[in-house]
Chain A
Amino acid sequence: MSIMGTRVKRTEDPRLLTVGGTYVDDIRVPEMTGAASVTFVRSPLGHARITGIDASAALAAPGVVAVLTVADIDDLPPPPPAGEPNDAAPLPLGGVWQEPLLAVDRVRFVGEPVAMVITDDAYDGEDAAELVSVDYEPLPVVVGPEAALAGESLLFPDAGSNVARTAGSPADPAAFDGCEVVVERTISNQRLAPVPMEGRAAAARWADGKLTVWVSTQNPQISRFIMAGAFGLDPGAIRVVAPDVGGGFGAKIGIDRDGLLVAWAAKHTGRALRWAETRSENLVGMTHGRAQRQTIKIGGTRDGRVLAYRVDVVQDAGAYLRLGGFLPFLTCTMAVGPYDIGHVETAYRVVVTNATPINAYRGAGRPEATAAIERAMDLFAAEIGMDPAEVRRRNLIPADKFPHQSPCGARYDTGDYIGALDQVLVGAGYAELRAEQARRRERGDVVQLGIGVSSYVEITAADAENGETARLEVHDDGTATVYTGSSPHGQGHDTAWAMLVHDDLGIPMDKVTVLHGDTDLIPLGIGTYGSRSLQMGGIAVHRAALDVRDQARRLAASLLEASEADLELDTERGLWHVRGDPASARSWADIAGHAGADGLAASVHYDATPTFPFGSHVAVAEVDTETGKVTLVRHVSVDDAGTVLNPVLAEGQRHGGIAQGVAQALLEEFVYDADGNPLTGSLADYAAITATELPSFELLARETPATTNPLGFKGIGEAGTIGATPAAHSAVIDALSHLGVRHIDMPMTPMRVWAAISEARSHR
């Protein structure tokens, strides 16, 4: 019997629950014995010219090995020439927008690396970093997209503008002509800090012409590629190891400048080095996510048919253009969401500001798209006085209209959006919730009830054409080894890949070893982001297993002197036998023992096209109308990610995604003051969501297999986040809609909610 779809416990956990994982800061290999510590000197100002750096006091301090500044970086090739702007290609652009490794003569955000202090002891590093004297001449600070667009102060004077990229269609003045109702509003999709529990960390050693770098990354092979380019080294001279990685959420894609500097400094000084950032460093130094200002315009008829939709995005990319240029492209690709709308326009501008650079964060462009259109749907529903679930039902793409070519450029392969909506409404008891809401309104309760509904479709493995690698070896002791180019940070790859091998070959899961995250073992691979792992890396393993099975069939035929067509694999017992003759059985060990010099093995590079998971969420919130306090009391979700390999893993992804989505709606925001100083630069200030702020979640199952890969898998890593934010957002506003509240920007803190109630009451 296939174990596909069964609840298999993770093979990773016994180790993680007894001795704990081995994260970068836990590396105790002999070659790192006596490694020195790196402490970064970071800019305390949002925007300033550097007029001098004096390291003499630091160099005289106890235990200091070296202090490195940009002047020491004399052994690297020049940065590549400016890239051509391209809709689908991620920035960085380079050229006039080039991000340096250490600040050259200007700092552009609080937390930017200015110098590195290397000490024998980590505690001494913190003291010595304080002694590095940097002279700054403050420059006018650009905080937020409006200031960037005003252009009174430029981050990159040679660029002549703070606008790095403009794309999309101009507004068609006739687009909304046929609409009976048009609603327009500018909303914020606020800046968030990813906060993986393990911050960034790197350890590096240069010996015998080879650079070995342990780094907390989602993509060891991409990290190696970046390093080879930055250092002018042959990739073969670099080994990157991603050991256990304590969460990533997009912010550990590749390797960023701090990690590159640690690796460079190890080569430059000849000392083995280690660095694990503090949380306060992490909150300003690790990339942030979201940070879009969106102007949404929606129009339609009074009977609930949406005819036209436009979204204008201003993407705050922070101080340097990393994926900040790519995210609004994805937002616009998914702008129309799961709806069938006749006229859709999208446009975006990417601006630089004196803030931490923006990069992928769980969902990366798609939560922003969903938040925008779901807010638009609610505003439209409120304007025509129709139930928001009913407005959605009237505009969702019907199940019989797939594949569906969206006007924004995506081709949705399969879907049943109305089915998902109806399922979640039934599961939540929507009608009864509305009745309870009516009773509370009738009574004039202080604590009102709100119900938020969201529908979404997202794109996963958006870069599926880049493919993923797998190698499978079956050994003559009956065990198997998987080498995967995918690289986990909590998803459970070891369990999932072993399940796939077991399902295809019948080799017991405990005899399957899954290896990942070491470029010496696995030189080629992409890694983990964009909810691509199972549908790319998993299918690559499946393909390798099928190849091995074909080879084994030939070997078994030869061994048993039977025709290949007569051979059967008993996947229950992992035995090959001639049909009708169980006594002829040969084990995998036997067969592998008779393989030639190359062994019984297969290597696969699998590429594909993206998939389009979808779903609907219902959030139920209580809002205290006297204090503005919000309590999320229920969260119900349908997330259809196609065929489910292991419900335990899929549900875990949904739980985590929902929590992060709710956190954006209710709690989290990275805030700067008018001078570009972070106000949420520690976990004492940044409102990372806790167990007390969440209910247990109610997950409903739904599987519509993808048609674009052989096992029907779609991604599940980001769906929860994408669906949860607008549902929770909507629930709070819905609780107050009878008071006339139509919108509250996220996060909906008690202060903002209370202010919105007061404002609405003042108009009554």
Chain B
Amino acid sequence: MKVTMTVNGRVVAAEVADRTLLVHFVREVAGLTAANVGCDTSSCGSCTILLDGRSVKSCTVLAAQADGREVVTMEGLASGPDELHPVQQAFRDEHGLQCGFCTPGMVMAAVSLLAENPRPTEDQVRSGLEGNLCRCTGYHNIVRAVLAAADAMEGMEQR
């Protein structure tokens, strides 16, 4: 079937098998390999991307379901190589990543979390990221990064 979607602002269209998962469409058709496949039970969140502005686990969405919709992956967050999104900047500043495999999903989950709740408590950050597994950081610095990003984004809005 023919699927057309906007990925990071670019229209991507392709003829794909009906059962093609959104994560595979993004990785193989759109050529964006940041989002990773870390499990097969929607448990780990490594494939998290934004679909019409809300986070989804793209291994659990068919490409066909995204037809005509807007996808944003981690590659689409920064406005330039030296202009990190506040969440990316906070992950860098707080050492919120080690091997980097969960990071694209974790960052997008955090972006979505902060869009829904701009001033989360530590407990709310932890609950909000429960669906994203990280095996390296013990979550300590990821939680700090999300809280720091919330501060930074609030500062920006006030300016």
A and B: partners? yes
Contacts of B20 in A (CB 8 A): 123
CA distance A748 to B70 in the complex (A): 44
| A13-B92, A17-B88 known; A652 vs B141 contact (CB < 8 Å) | yes
Select B95's contact among A278, A652, A684, beta carbons within 8 Å: A652
Q: Is the CB of A683 within 8 A of B75?
A: no
Select B136's contact among A278, A652, A690, beta carbons within 8 Å: A652
Query: Smallest distance from the beta carbon of B120 to chain A beta carbons, Å?
Result: 12
Q: Is the CB of A197 within 8 A of B139?
A: no
Q: Tell me whether B133 is interfacial, beta carbon within 8 Å.
A: yes
Select B99's contact among A9, A26, A247, A696, beta carbons within 8 Å: A247
Say which one of A536-544, A595-603, A655-663 lies at the interface with B: A655-663
Q: Is the CB of A17 within 8 A of B33?
A: no
Q: Tell me whether B1 is interfacial, beta carbon within 8 Å.
A: no
Contacts of A688 in B (CB 8 A): 43-44, 133, 135
Q: Is the CB of A21 within 8 A of B17?
A: no
Q: Is the CB of A197 within 8 A of B84?
A: no
List which B117-155 residues lie within 8 A (CB) of chain A. 122, 125-127, 129-130, 132-144
Contacts of A660 in B (CB 8 A): 135, 138
Q: Tell me whether A491 is interfacial, beta carbon within 8 Å.
A: yes
Q: Tell me whether A19 is interfacial, beta carbon within 8 Å.
A: yes
Query: Smallest distance from the beta carbon of B110 to chain A beta carbons, Å?
Result: 11
Select A17's contact among B91, B102, B126, B143, beta carbons within 8 Å: B91
Contacts of A658 in B (CB 8 A): 138
Q: Is the CB of B81 within 8 A of A697?
A: no
CA distance A1 to B102 in the complex (A): 36
Q: Is the CB of A16 within 8 A of B103?
A: yes
Contacts of B99 in A (CB 8 A): 21, 196-198, 244-247, 489-490
| A20-B34, A21-B101, A247-B101 known; A691 vs B78 contact (CB < 8 Å) | no
Contacts of B55 in A (CB 8 A): none
Query: Smallest distance from the beta carbon of B91 to chain A beta carbons, Å?
Result: 6
Query: Smallest distance from the beta carbon of B74 to chain A beta carbons, Å?
Result: 6
Q: Is the CB of B138 within 8 A of A659?
A: yes
Q: Is the CB of B44 within 8 A of A17?
A: no
Question: Which residue of chain A is the closest to B146 with respect to CB atoms?
Answer: A691
Q: Is the CB of A22 within 8 A of B103?
A: no
Contacts of A26 in B (CB 8 A): 27, 33
List which B73-105 residues lie within 8 A (CB) of chain A. 74-75, 77-78, 81, 84, 88, 91-93, 95, 97-104
Contacts of B159 in A (CB 8 A): none
Q: Is the CB of B84 within 8 A of A279?
A: no
Question: Which residue of chain A is the closest to B100 with respect to CB atoms?
Answer: A16
Q: Is the CB of A691 within 8 A of B130?
A: yes
Select A197's contact among B95, B125, B133, beta carbons within 8 Å: B133
CA distance A9 to B92 in the complex (A): 7
Query: Smallest distance from the beta carbon of A398 to chain B beta carbons, Å?
Result: 32
Q: Is the CB of A196 within 8 A of B135?
A: yes
How many B residues, CB 8 Å from partner? 56
Q: Tell me whether B58 is interfacial, beta carbon within 8 Å.
A: no
**What does the 1/0 interface line of A117-136 toward B look like (CB < 8 Å)?**
00000010000000000000
Query: Smallest distance from the beta carbon of A216 to chain B beta carbons, Å?
Result: 10
Question: Which residue of chain A is the closest to B131 with respect to CB atoms?
Answer: A690
**What does the 1/0 interface line of A733-753 toward B look like (CB < 8 Å)?**
000000000000000000000
CA distance A682 to B34 in the complex (A): 23
Contacts of A17 in B (CB 8 A): 74, 84, 88, 91-92, 97, 103, 107
CA distance A17 to B111 in the complex (A): 13
Q: Tell me whether B48 is interfacial, beta carbon within 8 Å.
A: no
CA distance A279 to B44 in the complex (A): 10
Q: Is the CB of B135 within 8 A of A656?
A: yes
Question: Which residue of chain A is the closest to B126 with respect to CB atoms?
Answer: A691
Q: Is the CB of B141 within 8 A of A23?
A: no
Contacts of B112 in A (CB 8 A): none
Query: Smallest distance from the beta carbon of B54 to chain A beta carbons, Å?
Result: 20
Contacts of A649 in B (CB 8 A): 95
Contacts of A244 in B (CB 8 A): 99-101
List which A244-288 residues lie within 8 A (CB) of chain B. 244-247, 249, 276, 278-280
Q: Tell me whether A648 is interfacial, beta carbon within 8 Å.
A: yes
Q: Is the CB of B92 within 8 A of A20?
A: no
Q: Is the CB of B43 within 8 A of A683?
A: yes
Q: Is the CB of B100 within 8 A of A691?
A: no
Contacts of A682 in B (CB 8 A): 39-41, 43
List which A651-696 residues lie within 8 A (CB) of chain B. 651-652, 655-660, 682-684, 688, 690-692, 694, 696
| A279-B39, A659-B138, A688-B133 known; A683 vs B100 contact (CB < 8 Å) | no
Select B103's contact among A20, A280, A655, beta carbons within 8 Å: A20
**What does the 1/0 interface line of A474-501 toward B look like (CB < 8 Å)?**
0000000000000001111000000000
Query: Smallest distance from the beta carbon of B136 to chain A beta carbons, Å?
Result: 5
Contacts of A652 in B (CB 8 A): 95, 98, 136-137, 141
| A13-B91, A17-B84 known; A697 vs B140 contact (CB < 8 Å) | yes
CA distance A247 to B46 in the complex (A): 13
Q: Is the CB of A683 within 8 A of B101?
A: no
Q: Is the CB of B74 within 8 A of A696?
A: no
List which A599-616 residues lie within 8 A (CB) of chain B. none
Question: Which residue of chain B is the closest to A279 with respect to CB atoms?
Answer: B39
Q: Tell me whether A764 is interfacial, beta carbon within 8 Å.
A: no
Select B138's contact among A197, A648, A697, beta carbons within 8 Å: A697
**What does the 1/0 interface line of B34-52 toward A look like (CB < 8 Å)?**
1111111101101000000
Q: Is the CB of A13 within 8 A of B34?
A: no
Q: Is the CB of A278 within 8 A of B40?
A: yes
Q: Is the CB of B139 within 8 A of A683?
A: no
CA distance A764 to B17 in the complex (A): 66
**What does the 1/0 interface line of B1-37 toward A look like (CB < 8 Å)?**
0000000000000000101100000010001011111
Contacts of A9 in B (CB 8 A): 92-93, 95
Select A684's contact among B41, B97, B126, B132, beta carbons within 8 Å: B41
Contacts of B36 in A (CB 8 A): 20, 23, 25, 197-198, 246
Q: Tell me whether A210 is interfacial, beta carbon within 8 Å.
A: no
* Interface core residue of A195, A196, A490 (most chain B CB under 10 Å): A490
Query: Smallest distance from the beta carbon of A759 to chain B beta carbons, Å?
Result: 32
Q: Tell me whether A763 is interfacial, beta carbon within 8 Å.
A: no
Q: Tell me whether A443 is interfacial, beta carbon within 8 Å.
A: no
Q: Is the CB of B138 within 8 A of A656?
A: yes
| A18-B84, A279-B38 known; A123 vs B143 contact (CB < 8 Å) | no
Q: Is the CB of A123 within 8 A of B34?
A: no
Contacts of B91 in A (CB 8 A): 13, 17
Which 3 pairs between the two chains have the least Cβ-Cβ distance?
A: A20-B34, A659-B138, A246-B101
**Can you report 17 A-B residue pairs in the complex whose CB atoms are below 8 A from each other?**
A9-B92, A13-B91, A14-B84, A17-B92, A18-B77, A18-B84, A19-B33, A20-B100, A28-B31, A123-B20, A197-B136, A279-B43, A490-B136, A491-B98, A651-B95, A682-B40, A684-B41
Additional 16 contacts, C-beta under 8 A, given A198-B101, A490-B136, A656-B138: A9-B95, A16-B100, A16-B103, A17-B91, A17-B97, A20-B100, A26-B27, A196-B135, A246-B101, A279-B41, A649-B95, A655-B141, A682-B39, A683-B133, A684-B43, A691-B126
Interface residues of B, Cβ cutoff 8 Å to A: 17, 19-20, 27, 31, 33-41, 43-44, 46, 74-75, 77-78, 81, 84, 88, 91-93, 95, 97-104, 107, 122, 125-127, 129-130, 132-144
